[in-house]
Chain A
Amino acid sequence: MVMIPPYVPEAFLTMYLPAIYAGLIVGFIGTMAIAMKREEIHILILTDLVGLAMIFIVSAVGTDLAEALILPGLVVELAETLAISEILITREMRKIEQDPRRNLSKSSSLFPQPFSLDMEIMTTAPNFIALVLIGYGIFLTGFTGGAVAGGGIVLYALSKKARGLPVLILDGIAGVSGIAWCLWIIGFLLFFVAPQYWLLSLFLAACGLLLKVASKVGLIGLLMREDIDKE
């Protein structure tokens, strides 16, 4: 006996089984390939495939619930990839430190050539565009707003660094993240304790998510800045 909500469209019901089977096949291929590979970076890339299988299976639900579950899944996958790639790089650096015969090139970077853009738009526009992006992101709130505001922060960090000026320090990211979690949890609790304040709790959760995503994207900007920091 399968309970189907009445508002699921008829077309989605026929798409349910193929999507589930496709997700299972993709997940099986991904996990088999992970089992057969030894190098860590290949395993990290293949983890993407398992994430795609997760999206398949969740999206087969076909309602708003699926959408609400896919968003955090994607964001967690992104954070996980970021963390594991940093761990891999750090471990390789430790190996080189223990074995100094292998010489390490002084600077390694995302951009093969020196990245010193000398365009006028990089010196005049970023303040205004970053301000507009952050303002619009705060207006949007939620996940989308966080992405837009984070884009503004990244743009500001990148363009200021290309000019060679000191840029704002994003050291307090951990604190901002904690505040965001608190807002989110308070909103969630209020939603159950006092349902008549649903608008307030919705906005608490949305602002928490905004801070969270914006600080995550800003963190990526910080990492990129470290790469660009060369003559």
Chain B
Amino acid sequence: MIDISIIFYFGIFLAIVGSIATAWGPGVNDPIVRTFNTEVASIGVCLVLLCYNHVLALLTLLATTVIITLILFRAIIRLEEMGADV
């Protein structure tokens, strides 16, 4: 039987490491890499919500993460095609 606090602290660890990677990680001057690094922190938050039994919040977080990623990719691609400095 796995102790629930292991998952909880692992979620916190993933969230903090993911946010550091998003802020100052390798290759984050490319906005696509930055968007992908956000996913790591997002998975950490998912684990924490799982520990708290927040099922609806977990599902909504997953859905909105997918949609936000789609929106960000659209914005990044459009801005790059227009030749803006991204």
Q: Give the distance in Å from the alpha carbon of A147 to the alpha carbon of B59 in the complex.
A: 11
| A32 in the interface (beta carbon within 8 A) | yes
- B61, A108: Cβ atoms under 8 Å? no
- A92, B79: Cβ atoms under 8 Å? yes
Q: Give the distance in Å from the alpha carbon of A70 to the alpha carbon of B61 in the complex.
A: 9
- B75, A85: Cβ atoms under 8 Å? yes
Q: Is chain A's binding surface mostly helix, strand, loop or mixed? A: helix
Q: Nearest B residue to A110 by beta-carbon distance?
A: B74
Q: How many residues of B contact A (CB 8 A)?
A: 49
- A82, B71: Cβ atoms under 8 Å? yes
Q: In whole Å, how far is A27's beta carbon from the nearest beta carbon of chain B? A: 9
For window 2-42 of chain B, which residues contact chain A by CB distance below 8 Å?
4-5, 8-9, 12, 15-16, 19-20, 22-24, 31, 34-35, 38, 41-42
**Chain B residues whose CB sits within 8 angstroms of the CB of A32 once the complex forms:** 23
**Chain A residues whose CB sits within 8 angstroms of the CB of B82 once the complex forms:** 89, 92-93, 96, 104-105, 108
Q: How many residues of A contact B (CB 8 A)?
A: 55
Q: Nearest A residue to B82 by beta-carbon distance?
A: A92
Q: In whole Å, how far is A11's beta carbon from the nearest beta carbon of chain B? A: 7
| A46 in the interface (beta carbon within 8 A) | yes
- A220, B52: Cβ atoms under 8 Å? no
Ordered nearest first, which 3 A-B pairs have the shortest CB separation?
Answer: A33-B23, A85-B75, A108-B81
**Chain B residues whose CB sits within 8 angstroms of the CB of A109 once the complex forms:** 77
**Chain A residues whose CB sits within 8 angstroms of the CB of B1 once the complex forms:** none
For window 56-86 of chain B, which residues contact chain A by CB distance below 8 Å?
56-57, 59-61, 63-64, 67-68, 70-79, 81-86
